[in-house]
Amino acid sequence: MKLKSIFLCFIFLGIVSCKKEVAKKEKEALSTSAITVKTYTYKELKPLLEKNDGKTYVVNFWATWCAPCVKELPDFEKLNKEYASKNVAVLLVSLDFPKQITRKLIPFLAKRNIQSKVVLLDDVNEDIWIKAIDSTWSGAIPATLIYNKNKRKFYEQSFTFETLELELQAFLE
């Protein structure tokens, strides 16, 4: 019986030790990545959805748990890179769970080398902010808002780079 107790203690210590090592590696990975994600309420995010400074903004609402969102992220990254010099800014608004920022969202962004600005929307009043962003939005993601001082259009759909670029061109004419 004593031998069994000693054996169980070693197993427990091994599990705890491995768990601490994994947590330490995750923490080191986060501290070496310079990625920060600011959390906004809708009231704080709203000014970013209404700028009138001569730029065209492409705002994508997405989450790491949304497969179509993840699939289209490289297209938004490509758009950000190719159109930055043409006065276009891409903003990725994550709808991930706030308590998963350091454990899931930041590692996700680091692994995929996301260069676009990313913010997290944390506002429990989704019935208010969904309709405020666009009255036709059901709340489904991915969803994208493209706007500038002259035009504003909301899309509750997935994009390929080609369709995204085509929609953006209408704002740049």
Quick: pLDDT tens for 30-88: 444 578 899 999 999 999 999 999 999 999 999 999 999 999 999 999 999 999 999 99
Fold of 38-172: Glutaredoxin (3.40.30)
pLDDT (mean) for 81-104: 95
Break the chain into its structural domains and give their ranges.
Answer: 1-32, 38-172
Chain mean pLDDT for the chain: 86
Write down the pTM of the prediction.
0.80
At residue 167, what is the residue type? E
Which residue in 86, 83, 62 sits closest to 72, CA to CA? 62
pLDDT at 125 over 80: yes
What is the CB neighbour count within 10 angstroms for residue 45?
22
C-alpha triplet 85, 91, 92: angle, nearest 5° = 135
Asked if pLDDT for residue 8 goes beyond 90, the answer is: no
| Mean pLDDT, residues 4-22 taken together | 46
Least confident stretch, 17-26, 114-123, 131-140: 17-26
